[in-house]
Chain A
Amino acid sequence: MDGAQPLVIERPALDRLITVLRDRGFAVMGPTVRSGAVVIDELRSGADLPAGWTDAQEAGTYRLTPSGHDAVFAHNAGPQSFKQVLFPPALTVWRGRRRDDGRVEADPPEDPPPLALLGVRSCDLHAIAIQDRVFLHDRFEEPDYATRRRGAFLVAVNCATAGGTCFCVSMGTGPRATAGYDLALTELTTGGPHRFLLEIGSARGAEVAAELAPRPAPQADEALAAEVVARTAAAMGRELDTDGIKDLLYANAEHPRWDDAAERCLTCGNCTMVCPTCFCSTVEEVTDLAGADARRTREWDSCFTLGHSHLQGGSVRASGRARYRQWMTHKLGSWIDQFGTSGCVGCGRCITWCPTAIDITEEAAAIRATDLRDLAAEGPADAHHR
């Protein structure tokens, strides 16, 4: 909480935090190493944490490597985010059966277990706040998201490294967590034993912290933590100029750069799957063989599929150009009109996981450099010859 004295805990207390949260009935979800990547999964103990690992990321490249030290949070954003947990990729949203008299009865919805999210980076905290606007703070509330989100206990981690594709500084979303958490950690690996500066963000956070036997943080640790975050902020792999970006993209809907991006884009939808804010979903309904039991399953969808804009007779966005334009214009532009914030938190996942290394920061910069409005101002003949 604001102005509260920061605390410090040592490495074993982090393991204890997982136990404390589990004892309180939370399923603790956090980073762990699987299949050569840091993914989000249930943590049963501190041993599941990705200690000793870091990653090298560039456009189209992700490689997990030993860090050579035992820092727990030396990795950057992985292919998954906590979107996986709060907005599951596949979820049964309705189950019912048709009785012999033709009536249909539905099962009551199942409540998900209380969730604790451990290791939430500032970009992902902002991503959660953005999805809150979509699913909770708009006209209609998404009930499953609401249940998962409202009870969730959030342990943030301030970033001690910046990935090669990170640009949270440009988006104003990091690397330091400033709000929206119950507890926030800054990992300190110098100037003493392996330890964490612990900041408390809620009364519930204070209760949990009390069980970790923390001690007041010396001023030197506070300074060290600030230095860690400042170093990360200075090491961003990418930057994006957001000045007037919505109008820039709206005015450049016919920019030739979209064709250029479309030539590289495979419309695979990876960017939308790894994006922590992308919220599109579709619903499939299937029955058992007898046709008496039906289940409706919500699954993530992507605006890169033809089906996304499908109407009787065809798709509205049939070309790859239109689909890339939709994604990027929505993410950086129309999102602002819809929800009052950008849809991008600068986590860089879409850049890292694009199989053809398309870089949203590069695409935005290219359009800005050849803004059709500037060309139009120079006169139609000139614009025509560019």
Chain B
Amino acid sequence: MTLAPLPHRIAARRQETGDVWTLALEPEGPGLPAFAPGQFAMLHAFGAGEVPISISAGLERPAPLHHTVRAAGTVTSALCDLREGAYVGVRGPYGRAWPVAEAEGRDVVIVAGGIGLAPLRPVIHHVLAHRERFGRLALAYGSRSPADLLFRDELAAWRARPDIDVAVTVDRATPAWRGRVGVVTTVLPPPAVDPAGAVAFLCGPEVMMRFAAAALRDAGLPGTAIHVSLERNMVCAVGHCGHCQLRELFVCKDGPVFCHDEVAALLRRREL
């Protein structure tokens, strides 16, 4: 925990929704090692504190790190208020990544809810960058409302591609919305993929992941092929502060990505 953050600068910032910003961070010195999809960094807002944020793009150095942050608490609000050029301390990469290598040769199902699309975006980038190594790719993305959709330009670009099947659904429609209305389980399993041989990566509210995993298991995906990214309170990111425990698991270092079989029983227990 006394691990010191490395100084970075905000090279660019982009507003995704009313309260979500994506920050592109460049190191002032040598920078951090490469991140894998699903790993996270501790971002330090000077004077406010640190917060764990998954990488949402920019796995390899020297490309800037991209982190997508929702202004929800003191530190995340401070980060979203910073301007280009401002200091952000970064340490990482931390945590277990999405097992993308395991998905090679198989169909890939991405199930995202709300801000949960951010940690999954690098998986989509990775599969699209090495398209021949994977089977069919389907994204099921549930959002509260059309205004809460992240990465809208990119979503439109993905929709236009023949090699990714995109289903977006919102819980609350606006009159102008012409897409699907309903929870994300209504678009599971994606018709394009063969559930028996597919690998699924899920990130979103825990309730959503519980039901999405159940829908995928009902469709024939084994629990070993379903991976979820969990959220718990994290202060240190290295298993020292004790906050992120889920019984015997430290979400920060044993996760945040877990195979559904590892955690399904724990997630059913209340207040564990």
The answer, yes or no, to whether A316 is at the interface (CB within 8 Å) is yes
CB distance from A308 to the nearest CB of B (A): 6
Chain A residues with CB below 8 A from B270, complex form: 322
Cross-chain contact of A309 among B3, B28, B47, B232 (Cβ < 8 A): B232
The answer, yes or no, to whether B242 is at the interface (CB within 8 Å) is yes
> A186 vs B4: C-alpha distance in the bound complex, in angstroms?
43
Stretch among A91-99, A189-197, A220-228 lining the B interface: A91-99
Stretch among A66-74, A115-123, A274-282 lining the B interface: A274-282
> A311 vs B233: C-alpha distance in the bound complex, in angstroms?
6
The answer, yes or no, to whether B153 is at the interface (CB within 8 Å) is no
Contacting pair B49 A311 (CB below 8 A): no
**Which residues of B (229-266) have their CB < 8 Å from a CB of A?**
231-233, 235-236, 238-243, 245, 247-248, 250, 253
Chain B residues with CB below 8 A from A294, complex form: 46-47
Chain A: residues with Cβ within 8 Å of the partner, total of 51
Chain B residues with CB below 8 A from A144, complex form: 2
CB distance from A336 to the nearest CB of B (A): 8
The answer, yes or no, to whether A216 is at the interface (CB within 8 Å) is no
The answer, yes or no, to whether A34 is at the interface (CB within 8 Å) is no
Chain B residues with CB below 8 A from A98, complex form: 46-47, 87
**Residue on A nearest B89 in the bound complex, by CB:** A104
Residue interface mask B104-138, A partner, CB < 8 A = 1:
00000000000000000000000000000000000
Chain A residues with CB below 8 A from B49, complex form: 283-285, 296
Residue interface mask A138-150, B partner, CB < 8 A = 1:
1110111000000
CB distance from A368 to the nearest CB of B (A): 19
> A298 vs B233: C-alpha distance in the bound complex, in angstroms?
16
Contacting pair A280 B87 (CB below 8 A): no
CB distance from A272 to the nearest CB of B (A): 10
The verdict on A281 contacting B232 (CB below 8 Å), with A103-B7, A135-B240, A322-B270 known, is: no
The answer, yes or no, to whether B85 is at the interface (CB within 8 Å) is yes
**Which residues of A (288-320) have their CB < 8 Å from a CB of B?**
291, 294, 296, 298, 301, 303, 308-312, 316-319
The answer, yes or no, to whether B86 is at the interface (CB within 8 Å) is yes
> A19 vs B148: C-alpha distance in the bound complex, in angstroms?
68
Contacting pair A329 B247 (CB below 8 A): yes
> A172 vs B264: C-alpha distance in the bound complex, in angstroms?
34
The answer, yes or no, to whether B271 is at the interface (CB within 8 Å) is yes
CB distance from B153 to the nearest CB of A (A): 27
**Residue on A nearest B45 in the bound complex, by CB:** A285
> A279 vs B87: C-alpha distance in the bound complex, in angstroms?
31
> A322 vs B2: C-alpha distance in the bound complex, in angstroms?
30
Cross-chain contact of B240 among A106, A142, A291 (Cβ < 8 A): A142
Chain B residues with CB below 8 A from A282, complex form: 235, 241, 243
> A326 vs B86: C-alpha distance in the bound complex, in angstroms?
40
The answer, yes or no, to whether B1 is at the interface (CB within 8 Å) is yes
CB distance from B68 to the nearest CB of A (A): 15
The verdict on A104 contacting B7 (CB below 8 Å), with A311-B232, A337-B248 known, is: yes
> A68 vs B7: C-alpha distance in the bound complex, in angstroms?
61
Interface residues of A (CB under 8 A from B): 93-94, 96, 98, 102-104, 106, 109, 134-135, 138-140, 142-144, 250, 253-254, 279-285, 287, 291, 294, 296, 298, 301, 303, 308-312, 316-319, 321-322, 326, 329-330, 334, 337-338
Subset of 18 A-B contacts with CB under 8 Å: A93-B1, A98-B47, A109-B2, A109-B4, A134-B240, A138-B253, A143-B2, A250-B247, A282-B235, A287-B47, A294-B46, A298-B1, A301-B235, A308-B242, A310-B233, A316-B233, A322-B271, A330-B245
